[in-house]
A = this chain, B = another copy of it.
Amino acid sequence: MARRPSDPTGLHRVLDDRLVLPQAAQRLDTARELWPDEVRIRTERLNLDAASFRQLERTHDGDGDRVRAAVLDIVASRGKMQNPETGSGGMLVGTVEEVGPESPLGLQVGDRVATLVSLTLTPLVIEDGLAGWDGRSEQVPCDGYAVLFGRSIAAVIPDDLDPALSLAVMDVCGAPALTARVVEEYGASGRPTVAVVGGAGKSGSLSLAAARRAGAARTIGVVPNEREATLLKATGLADEVVLADATDPVALRDAVAGAGGPADVTVVCVDVPGCEGGAILATAEGGTVIFFSMATSFSAAALGAEGLAADVRMLVGNGYVPGHAAFALDLLRAEEGVRSLFEGRLEP
């Protein structure tokens, strides 16, 4: 049977009646045979999205066998791991098994990789019944295969770092890359002041390091409590560390102002709703707010800026910037402060 030609977005594997993107699809084609621009990965481990795993755990009363059965059922029926309730997926680790002759990803057979696109759009077949998983953790040992499209992203896991550390960095690597790009736009002429809300977190600490490396005149880390302040101060990643509740717009504005603000660039890295107003007020006229939090409300940002007559540019934090994984891993290697924060957060 003739196959339809491949599309770099993976449209050729969508089995729904209405042609939608793979992420929106009900079911994907998991044929083992590759289209010319695809790559097949032998899976080693799935890393389920935390929100998805918690939902499954709640629904099945924490019964690991039932959780495992639910994941097997989802993957068998949809051809991908996308929790129908949360809509979310996760990422996977594995080894490159076959590379199509027209794949643009630059991968070699045998490379150990992490996929940086979501499991929600990745064709997946589980071959071991998840026999090695007790259903009680987001980390799922899994023998099977997954398929990457022409436009998918996968990063080779470096040999010199603990794989868990590499994965934690890759998971948030869009934030430092985009922060660096925005800071670099200022050039040498007007080096900006950069405030990172949630500066002691994973994406926050990387963003602080990226901002300084990209030429920020001053970096301000905003944290919610003394414990985080102590952690961040010890790393030296921020010129100033200030305490503020990011959901209190006046407190956030005043904290950043008191540390040498307003900021020319404000980076929001805390996953709580209601930070839009404070981020806008903490930012100078003509400045930029980058929202990396998935808790960001589009309308709160748009209407908030209008209501404050705030002439600020607001960016949706795109998780993809070319070279983002390598850049973030380099920051981790070069910045002892970033590394110590990450290693501290990985400890059980």
Contact = CB atoms under 8 A, between A and B. Distances in A.
Contacts of A312: 318
Interface in A144-203: 151-153, 174
Nearest to A14: B250
B308 A9 contact: yes
A277 B118 contact: no
Contact of A320 (B118, B294, B297, B305): B305
Contacts of A116: 306
A117 B306 contact: yes
A55 interface: no
Interface residues of A, number: 50
Interface string A265-309: 000000000000100010000000001001011110111111111
Contact of A316 (B294, B307, B316): B316
A90 to B, nearest CB: 12
Nearest to A313: B315
A243 interface: no
Contacts of A304: 21, 23
A312 B320 CA distance: 9
Q: Name which of A21, A117, A152, A305 has the most chain B CB atoms within 10 A of its CB.
A: A21
Contact of A120 (B23, B121, B307, B320): B307
Nearest to A310: B320
A301 B320 contact: no
A321 interface: yes
Given A298-B316, A306-B319, A309-B320, 8 more contacts: A117-B307, A294-B298, A294-B299, A303-B319, A306-B318, A308-B320, A312-B318, A314-B315
Interface of A: 9, 11, 19-24, 116-118, 120-121, 151-153, 174, 248-250, 277, 281, 291, 294, 296-299, 301-322
Instruction: List the 9 shortest-distance A-B pairs measured between CB atoms, nearest first.
Output: A306-B319, A314-B316, A305-B318, A298-B298, A151-B309, A306-B320, A296-B298, A301-B316, A153-B309
